[in-house]
Structure 1
Amino acid sequence: MKAFAQIIEKILGAVVGLLMALMVLDVTWQVLTRFVLKEPSSYTEELARFLLVWIGLLGAAYAYRKKAHLGLDILSQKLEGAAKRKLDIFISIVCMVFALVIMIYGGAKLMLLTLELDQMSAALQVKVGYLYSVIPLSGVLIVLFSLDRIINGDPEPETLEFYE
């Protein structure tokens, strides 16, 4: 499970990085066409919006895996040993239940409904259900990373080190 989660983490990091690069190119093209060519592109704003949503949701799963997500650690800093491990397991279970109910179940219902209604995005002419597929996908990733935390323990959070 740990090795599988590490492979998924690396792939996820690369995908989020690629989406960020695409967004930079998209917004650069938008600025160029609007202010330099004086012919604004019709699809760049919508593409940037959808890329931002995908980056945010996939990035949230990646940050959760890296334990780099915003969180309150007042209680966990005061605990040690078995009590700290039990609290970490409880937190992972709460995150997993949220991902299962809200992101996977709710996201899948939203995705399937918009696919069934054949809703299309205005500029890109892509089915909105495909764009919403990132919600259950991110939920599945968070559940996977939660299970890994429960089974193998928490990874150490990412920290920045400063050198003088």
Structure 2
Amino acid sequence: MTKSELIFNRVNKILEWTIIMIFALLVLDVLFQVFSRYVIGESFTWTEEFARFSLIWITILGAAYLNGKKEHLSMDFLYQKFSPYNKRKVAVLIEVLIFLFALIVMVIGGLNLVYTTLHLGQLSGTLRIPLGYIYAIMPFSGVLIMCYSIYHILSIYSNINRK
């Protein structure tokens, strides 16, 4: 196993456990919300906001995780018709487009969003957390996706050299 594969597997494992922990917190939060509403008779507003933020983080981190594992949704009907040579070219093109999307939309746009919300001092309604911290998951996941794209491109070229 190469050093890049070792790093790739370690990052995937950390990301996987992070998503699992956030999901566990989300489940506990929703269970507490239901318990407090129907047993105690009082609804805590912070539970709904925490659930929303947890769902945002799970979704965006999950997108990066699935991109890294190459398990994201794709329609490959046309791709399967290509020759092996053209499949490699298209695979590299797709990874470059994913990289550019992650860079422009998630990293640059996400950093702009984080900076703006922190600069304006926007806080969440109930938990009073600076929204920039909640939105920070966007550029973080964008960087992960960019790293995964580079890894996938390198693995495509290393597979060519092995043959």
Do the two structures share a fold, i.e. TM-score over 0.5? yes
Asked if 1:147 is matched to 2:150, the reply is yes
TM-score (norm 1): 0.91
Cα deviations across residues 77-127 of structure 1 (Å, max 9, x unaligned)? 112322111110000000000000000000000001000001100111110
Match of 2:138 in 1: 135
Q: Which runs of 4+ in 1 moved over 3 A?
A: none
Alignment correspondent of 2:36 = 33
Amino acid at match of 1:57: I
Q: 1:118 aligns with which of 116, 121, 131?
A: 121
Residue 104, structure 1, aligned to residue 107, structure 2: yes
Structure 2: tracts of 5 or more residues without a match: 158-163
| AA matched with 2:76 | D
Higher RCO (CA 8 Å, separation ≥ 6 residues)? 1
2:24 pairs with one of 21, 25, 28: 21
SS of residue paired to 1:153:
helix
How many angstroms does 1:3 deviate by? 2.2
**Match for residue 160 of structure 2?**
none
Higher helix share: 2
Instruction: Tell me the distance in 2 between the aligned counterparts of 1:112 and 1:2.
Output: 34
Q: Pick the aligned partner of 2:53 from 37, 50, 53.
A: 50
Give the Cα–Cα distance (whole angstroms) in 2 for the partners of residues 118 and 124 of structure 1.
14
The question of whether the paired residues in 2 share the 8 Å contact of 1:30 and 1:40 is answered with yes
Distance in 1 (CA, whole Å) between partners of 2:109 and 2:6 is: 29
SS in structure 1 of the partner of residue 78 of structure 2: helix
Give per-residue Cα distances to partners, 1:8-50, cap 9 Å, x unaligned. Answer: 1110011001111110000000000011110111210000000
Q: Structure 1, unaligned stretches of length 5 or more?
A: 155-164
Matched letter for residue 137 of structure 2: V
Does the residue aligned with 2:150 lie in a helix, a strand or coil? helix
Q: How many residues align?
A: 154
Give the share of equivalent positions with the same residue, in percent: 42
